[in-house]
Amino acid sequence: MADIGANGDRENFKVVGGQGNPPGVVSYAMATGLAKYGVDYVLPNMLHAKFLHSPYANAKVAGINDAKARALSGVVDILTWEDEDIRDLVPRCFDFLSDRPWLDNIADRSGAEVAAIVVAEDEETCEEALRLLEIEWEMLPHVTDLREGNKLGAPVVRPGEDAKPTFWNYLSAEGQPPKRGNTYTVVDIRGDVCEAFGEAENLIEYDLRLPPFATRSPNPLASVAWWEKHPYTGEEPNLYIEGSVRWRDALSLTYKMPMEKIYMEGLFMGGKYCDWSLRRCQEVTPLLAKRYGRPVRCADRREHMYDFLMNERFIQMKVAFTKDGLITAIDDYSLCDKGGRGSAPFGHVGDLSQGPYKTTKCKSVRQKMEVVDSNRGVMWLSGQHCPFNWDTITTGIYIIAEQLGKDPIDIARLNLHGPTSPDDTNPVPSFDKCVEAGKKLMDWNWHPSGAKQLEDGRMHGACFRYQMTPRHSMKERHSKLEYRDGVVHMPSRGPIIGTYAVEANAMVVAEELGIPYEDVSIDFDAVAAHCIYGGGSDGTVGPAWAMKECVQILKELLKEAAIDYAENPGKPNSSFHNVGQHFPTPGPFRGCGPEELEVADGRVFLKSEPSKGILISEVTHKNIVATHSAWPPPGVWVTGNMGEILDLMNTEYCEVAVDAETGEVEILRFGIAADVGKILRRTSLESQIDQAVFFSQGCQQFEDMFYDPKTGVLLNTNMADYKVPGMLDVPIVEKSILETRAGNGVYGANGMSHCITNTNMLIIAIHNAAGVWVEPPATPDKVLKALGKA
C-alpha cells in the first residue's frame, strides 16, 4: 500500500525523518519535574478518597459495620455499593466495561476495589478507616491456574455469566458453543485441516506458554476533581478534573455533562502502552467532589496496579510441513486467560482468525481457543501484548529449521505468501530488504542447536523473527491549523504519553509548508479536536496523515488570502486601534487566481515566476483557520484481514550466551531490521523499538506473577518482588531502519511498537544454545533445571 493522500510520495524531506530531530515540546517540563500527573495534584481544602480493596481472590462482601470507622476523627463519609449515586454510575470508557456494575460487593481478584469508599481529610485517615471497617467476607471459589480452572468439575467462578467473547465486528458470538464451567470455546477453521494433516510429509508438535506481564503505569493512577461555577456567567458548576487525561468524552457520558463544561488541563498521562482505560479512582472523584462541595483526590497504590498488559496463554501446536519446510497444515489450540470482569478481548479471541498464519501460504488452519474465566487480573484494553499470537509461528519456523538443518530465515521466506494476497507467490520486497539489512547488521551466521560455544565456555544461541508493520489505528481524525499573526498554530490536546506524536504531526506541517519546525507553534489546548488517539508510534502516523491533508486546505486558504490582501490591503488610516498588529507588504498577486499560485519552501509565489512571491509569514494580517475531518485510508489490518496483504515487514535477531554452570542468560546482541515505510521523528521511533524490546526481555527473563495456590492472592505486588529490567539488564538494541514508503500512514509510514514485542525470542535462542526448552521467564534456576542440573 502507500500514502494515497496529498504529497504521499514526497521526496527531499527537510524536516521529517532528519537525523537531529528537535527536542520534545514538553521535554523540559518532564525533565525538570514541572510536568504534573494526576497523583501530583494537591488543592486547598482537598478531601481524599480510598477504595476498599479485596484481600481475597474471589469474595463477596455480605455486610459492613462502619461504626468504628465513622467515629474516627477526620472521616467525612463512607459510601457503599448500595449508595444511590454509586449505583447510577456507568463506566463509559469502552463498551466491554459496561457489563459490570461500576462498584458492587463482589471482588473477583485480589486487590480489586470492592464495596466501599472512604472519604476523609487525609490519606492516612482513609487508610486507618479502611482498617477499622468490619467486613463480613464470604469467600468464593477462585481460579488462578488456568489449567485447573478449565477442568471438568472445577469450581465455577462466575456462575450465571455466559456472554460469549467477541471481538467487535471481527468475531461474532454467533455459532459459538455454550459456555462450559469457566470455559468458553471458540473455533476458527480454514480449509480442510484433516485432509492436510493426513497428507503430511512431516509433523511437529510443540507447546508454548505466553507469560503474562503486568500493567506498568509508572504513575499511580489518580484523579483530583472539583466543581466551580463558571467565572463569568455564574452558570451551573463546571467540572474540573485532573488525572483522567484525554477522557473528557467518557466523563461527559458518565456524568451526563456537556463536554464544554468539563475542564481538564493536564497533558501528562504517564506510560500507558495501550492500556487506555480509566480506573475507578479516575472516574469517582467528580461524584464525590459534587457531593461534599470540596475538591477530592483518589489515588491507587502500587500494589493495586498489577493487572495485565498481556494475558497468560498455554498453546499446543501441531504443524505439518514438506521436506523443504513449507507448512501445509496448522492446528493451534490455546488455553487463554479471559481475565477478571470487564477485561477486553485482546489477548484471547481478538487474536483469532487473523495474524501470523495468514501471512503464510498455508491454507489449512484450525484455531481452537478455550477462554477461561479467572481471578487473576484485568486486561484493561489491548496492553503491550504480542498481537495475534505471532510467537507460535516464530517457534514453528525455528523447529522446522532445526529439523531440516536450515536457516529459519529461509524457512520464513519459503512460507510467506506474496504481497498482494494469499495466492500471490511472489517474494515480499519489504521482507527481503529487512532480511538483507538484518543479516548485515548482525553478521548473521546461523548454526544448529548446541553447535556453537563461545571462548569463555558459554553456549551461543540465536533466534530470528518476522512480523508485519501494520497501521491499525482507524479513528476519525480531526485536524485544525490556525494562521495568526503570520504564524501557523497547531492546536492539540495531546495527551503526552511519551511517543512524541504531537511533535511528529508538527514536523509534517512544517514539511508541507516548507517552514522550519520551530516556526510551527504547538498550542496545547485541553478542548482542541486534534488528539493522538491510538497511542504509540501507530497513533502518530494516522493523525499525521490527516494533518497533512489539513495543510493542503490551509495552503489553498493562504493562496486566497494572499490574493485578497494584495487587492484589499485594508490597512486602517489610524494605527491607534491596531497597536502591535503587523500589516505586511502585499504580494504581487493582484488579479491572480489561486490556481496561478503555489505554496512551498515557506513562500507563496507565482507558478509562472517563482521569484515573485512572499514569505508565508507575510501573506496577510488576517486570521485563517483550516480544518479537516476524515478517516485515514484503511490499513492492512482492515483491507488484508491482518496478514493477507503484506506491505511493510520487520525482522528481529537475538543472540544469547547461556552459562550452563550458573544458568545465567546474557543477551549478547539484539538487532532490529525494520521497514517503517518512512521515518517521521527518528529518536521517538528508536525509543519505541527500545521499549518493545524492554517489554519482551522483561517477560522472558524477569517478570513473573506468583499466586498463593490456597487463597489465589497475587503475592508479589511490589517493585522489589516483581522485577522489571533495569539499566544494567537491557541490551543495546542495534537498528537498521528501512523506508520503502509502502505503508498507508503519512508518507507511507506505519507504526512499530506492538509488532516488535514478543514473548519467546530469548526462549528460542536459549534452545538454540543449549538444546532445552525453558518456560519463561528464563531465570537461572529454570535454566539449570532444564539442563538437569537443579
Partner 1 sequence: MPETIELNINGIAKQLDAAPNRTLHDALQYQMGLTGAKHMCDRGACGSCTVIMDGRPVLSCSILVCECEGKAIETIEGIAADPKWKPLVDAYCKWDAMQCGYCTPGFLTTAKALIDRSPNPSEQDCREALAGNICMCGTYPRHATAILEAARNMNSEGGGLNG
Give residues in contact with partner 1 (CB under 8 A): 23-24, 26-37, 39-40, 42, 124, 216-220, 268-272, 301-302, 496-500, 683-684, 687, 690-691, 693-695, 718-720, 724-728, 730, 732-733
Cβ–Cβ under 8 Å, residues 179 and 370: no
Q: Report the alpha-carbon distance of residue 640 to residue 386 in Å, rounded.
A: 19
Taking the least distance from each CB to partner 1, the nearer of 310 and 496 is 496
Largest CA distance in the chain: 94
Please, what is the minimum distance in Å from the beta carbon of residue 693 to partner 1?
7
Please, what is the minimum distance in Å from the beta carbon of residue 575 to partner 1?
40
Taking the least distance from each CB to partner 1, the nearer of 112 and 221 is 221
Measured N-to-C along each axis, helices 408-415 and 390-404 cross at an angle, to the nearest 10 degrees, of 120
Cβ–Cβ under 8 Å, residues 633 and 743: no
Taking the least distance from each CB to partner 1, the nearer of 301 and 361 is 301
Please, what is the minimum distance in Å from the beta carbon of residue 123 to partner 1?
8
Taking the least distance from each CB to partner 1, the nearer of 32 and 169 is 32
Please, what is the minimum distance in Å from the beta carbon of residue 82 to partner 1?
32
Taking the least distance from each CB to partner 1, the nearer of 125 and 392 is 125
Q: Report the alpha-carbon distance of residue 298 to residue 52 in Å, rounded.
A: 12
- Beta-sheet strands, E only, within 278-433: 296-299, 308-310, 313-321, 327-339, 365-373
Residue 277 per-residue DSSP state: P
Q: Report the alpha-carbon distance of residue 526 to residue 206 in Å, rounded.
A: 51
Please, what is the minimum distance in Å from the beta carbon of residue 513 to partner 1?
24
CA distances from 397 to 86, 648, 721 (A): 52, 20, 35
One-letter-per-residue 3-state SS of 735-751: EEEECCCCCCCHHHCCC
Please, what is the minimum distance in Å from the beta carbon of residue 292 to partner 1?
19
Taking the least distance from each CB to partner 1, the nearer of 30 and 404 is 30
Q: Report the alpha-carbon distance of residue 375 to residue 161 in Å, rounded.
A: 14
Please, what is the minimum distance in Å from the beta carbon of residue 756 to partner 1?
11
Please, what is the minimum distance in Å from the beta carbon of residue 670 to partner 1?
11
Please, what is the minimum distance in Å from the beta carbon of residue 531 to partner 1?
17
Taking the least distance from each CB to partner 1, the nearer of 73 and 233 is 73
Please, what is the minimum distance in Å from the beta carbon of residue 273 to partner 1?
8
Cβ–Cβ under 8 Å, residues 499 and 536: yes
Q: Report the alpha-carbon distance of residue 323 to residue 276 in Å, rounded.
A: 46
* Single-letter amino acid, residue 478: H
Burial of residue 177 (number of CB atoms within 10 Å: 0-12, 13-18, 19+): exposed
Taking the least distance from each CB to partner 1, the nearer of 152 and 720 is 720
Taking the least distance from each CB to partner 1, the nearer of 219 and 760 is 219
Please, what is the minimum distance in Å from the beta carbon of residue 485 to partner 1?
27
Q: Which residue has the cell 534456576?
A: 781
Taking the least distance from each CB to partner 1, the nearer of 29 and 257 is 29
Torsion sign, CA atoms 7, 9, 13, 18: positive
Please, what is the minimum distance in Å from the beta carbon of residue 128 to partner 1?
11
Residue 160 per-residue DSSP state: T
Taking the least distance from each CB to partner 1, the nearer of 150 and 691 is 691
Taking the least distance from each CB to partner 1, the nearer of 254 and 691 is 691
Cβ–Cβ under 8 Å, residues 415 and 361: yes
Helix (H) or strand (E) holding 238: strand 238-242
Please, what is the minimum distance in Å from the beta carbon of residue 761 to partner 1?
16
Please, what is the minimum distance in Å from the beta carbon of residue 111 to partner 1?
14
Q: State the Cα angle at 744 between 741 and 747, rounded to 5°.
A: 50
Cβ–Cβ under 8 Å, residues 7 and 509: no
Taking the least distance from each CB to partner 1, the nearer of 56 and 268 is 268
CA distances from 692 to 622, 685, 686 (A): 46, 11, 10
Name the nearest CA neighbour of 740 among 634, 607, 611, 650. 650
Taking the least distance from each CB to partner 1, the nearer of 23 and 610 is 23
Cβ–Cβ under 8 Å, residues 726 and 665: no
Helix (H) or strand (E) holding 766: helix 761-770
Taking the least distance from each CB to partner 1, the nearer of 220 and 640 is 220
CA distances from 353 to 170, 171, 313, 337, 641 (A): 9, 8, 17, 18, 8
Please, what is the minimum distance in Å from the beta carbon of residue 269 to partner 1?
7
Helix (H) or strand (E) holding 119: strand 113-120
